[in-house]
Amino acid sequence: MATIKDVAQVAAEARHTKGVGSGRRLREIVRILRRHHALSGLTPEEATSLLEDLGPTFVKMGQIAANRSDIIPPAYADAFKQLRADVPPMPFAAVLTVIEASLGHSWQQTFACIEEKPLGSASIAQVHRARIAPHAARNTLANSFAVPDSRSDDMPLAHTWVAIKVRRPGVVEQMTQDLALIRQAVALMGLTRAADGIKLSLDDLITELDRTTRQELDFRVELQNLRQFRHYMDSQPKVECPAAYVGISSDDVLVMDFVEGPMINDEYALRALGLDPAQLGHRLAESYVTQIVDDGFFHADPHPGNILVRDGDIVWIDLGMVGELTMTERTLVGRMLRASAENDPYALMQALLTAARIDGPVDYGSLLDQLGRIVSLYASVDVAAINVGSALLDVLEVLRTQNLVLPPSFTLLARGLVTIEGVLVDIAPQESVIDIVSDHMKRRERTWPALETKAREFASTTLSSVEAAVRLPTQASHTLDMINRGHVKVNADLGIPVDALAALYSVSGTVAMALISAGLFVGSSLLAQTNMHPQLLGVPLLGVVGYVGAFVLGAYVVWRNIVIRHRQKNDERL
């Protein structure tokens, strides 16, 4: 463990390389880590308190880590979901400065008004409502081929209300500095070794959080997410997301449609609007399943605050965090769900092993047993009562204990399903996600693209099997030839228990005597048909001896079977 002298030395180096402020911040981080006894391990609640004390940057990282239970234990992920950043709003003048720097001109040239009171304020950004100026729309139309009074991806209609998401000035630099400093502090305090129950070392965890956090800091990523998500929503009736406007957005300012309406779980407000919460719940679940199974692009933070209802339509907002599934991963998700529904732990294990990355020794027998228990547990309840998200999280925990890591998208998927199912409990408790998944996949399998894919897979598998069958005799011949020449040695250790061997010998001896008894009886019966001498009571003497031997051996076999049965019932050695 580092001494006070070591801390002072690193702080001095930070002061020279990054300035006095960095050195002061490093000493503050080290002091907070020591105050929370980070070296001796932290409970989920203590880890949450540590992140809050470290400041808004680390609170945001903790909120991101809450969706990564493949990296940290579920108890910590659940605790991090309670993190809240107590950050005061930016001064309005600072907001306008950022907006004007992004636009390259005065904000009045684009917006008729910007409301001073923010709609929301967080550690990275805050959101204000604004209205598009009429002359801004005309200027855009004059420089484009857009049809008047029509909206494009570049510019909204005049007088349209929009939401402006403004990144806090200096937050990127502050986060970069804090990450570099905590890496230095972690190395100094000897926390680079992976802690119990965490798949990555703290240093690796910070690297992963750095990668995911930077994506959230760049609003161009969220803008692209919105455009892609909106494209997929075109195929879903009465489901949409806000349009984002490229022409007036940048990496630190994001302009999108302003959405006003009750949250999806506000049952009272929904009924006041004449809407049926149960129908909305079914449409919501169907939309999420479509995102996962068909699109492979899904909302990764679907809490009720990010799902609004406007004019009877479901509107998904805040696409800062999304999950993506490749075609292969979507197929594997389907196989997992099908294996769970059919109570087939072996098929579930095969699908998981195909998708997972192995990070250490795996006990495949124990893995199959644990998955079998999970499948049996959920198979014993009614299908409508199965919580798919919780089941997937249980599977992820089993994999974590077996040194198997699934892609991050699978964790985001599991936690997203848990959240969606929580919403359904509030507004449509009769709906079952697993039923919706099953019905959706059945409809999907009956489509021409699905049938063509199956036909190609069948043809490919058949061709591979034929090729393997053709090669098999040659491969077997070569293998036997190598064994004969001594190039290959085959070692086998069956490891049969002594009790099993004793039982095998006992049973085989009994069977042998039974066969001898039967042989004597058949042979004596054949001799009895002859006139062989000497005879006893008209029967050849040799036949009489055979009958006696067959009777004795038969009686012994019967007695032996009774003894074996008795010992088996009493768990005695045979």
Q: What average pLDDT does the segment 203-207 reach?
A: 61
pLDDT at 223 over 90: yes
Q: What average pLDDT does the segment 334-354 reach?
A: 75
Q: What three-state secondary structure class fits 120? A: strand
pLDDT at 92 over 90: yes
Q: What is the pLDDT of residue 162?
A: 96
Q: What is the pLDDT of residue 4?
A: 40
pLDDT at 523 over 70: yes
pLDDT at 404 over 60: yes
Confidence of residue 13 (pLDDT cuts 50, 70, 90): very low
Q: What are the tens digits of pLDDT across the range 122-132?
A: 878 899 999 99
pLDDT at 7 over 50: no
Confidence of residue 161 (pLDDT cuts 50, 70, 90): very high
pLDDT at 449 over 70: no
Q: What is the pLDDT of residue 130?
A: 96
pLDDT at 300 over 70: yes
Q: What is the pLDDT of residue 316?
A: 96
pLDDT at 276 over 60: yes
pLDDT at 2 over 90: no
Q: What is the mean pLDDT of the chain?
A: 77
Biggest CA-to-CA distance, the chain: 133
Q: What average pLDDT does the segment 400-410 reach?
A: 81
Q: Mutual orientation of helices 364-379 and 388-401 as an angle, nearest 10°?
A: 160
Alpha-carbon span 430 to 483, nearest angstrom? 64
**Using an 8 Å Cβ cutoff, are 77 and 397 in contact?**
no
The DSSP string of 302-335 is --GGGEEEETTEEEE---SSEEE--HHHHHHHHH
Q: What is the pLDDT of residue 260?
A: 93
Confidence of residue 572 (pLDDT cuts 50, 70, 90): low
The DSSP string of 167-184 is EPTTHHHHHHHHHHHHHH
Cis? peptide before 44, omega within 30° of 0? no
Q: What are the tens digits of pLDDT across the range 526-566?
A: 777 777 777 777 778 777 888 888 888 888 888 877 877 77
Q: State which of 1-5, 48-52, 212-216 shows the largest mean pLDDT.
A: 48-52
Lowest mean pLDDT among 96-110, 262-276, 406-420, 442-456: 442-456
Q: State which of 198-207, 211-220, 286-295, 508-517 shows the largest mean pLDDT.
A: 286-295
The tokens describing 431, both together, are 């709906």
Q: What is the pLDDT of residue 225?
A: 92
Q: What is the pLDDT of residue 144?
A: 37
Q: State which of 45-49, 73-77, 182-186 shows the largest mean pLDDT.
A: 45-49
Lowest mean pLDDT among 72-76, 279-283, 358-362, 455-459: 455-459
pLDDT at 390 over 80: no
The tokens describing 156, both together, are 């909204």
Confidence of residue 499 (pLDDT cuts 50, 70, 90): low
Q: What is the pLDDT of residue 71?
A: 60
pLDDT at 492 over 60: no
Give the H or E element holding residue 69. Answer: none
Q: What is the pLDDT of residue 150?
A: 45
Q: What is the pLDDT of residue 218?
A: 86
CA distances from 300 to 67, 216, 285 (A): 8, 13, 14
Question: Could you tell me what percent of the chain has a pLDDT over 90?
Answer: 23
Confidence of residue 146 (pLDDT cuts 50, 70, 90): very low
Q: What is the pLDDT of residue 8?
A: 43
DSSP 301: -
The three-point CA angle 244-321-55 to 5° equals 110
Torsion over CA: 224, 173, 68, 127 (sign): negative
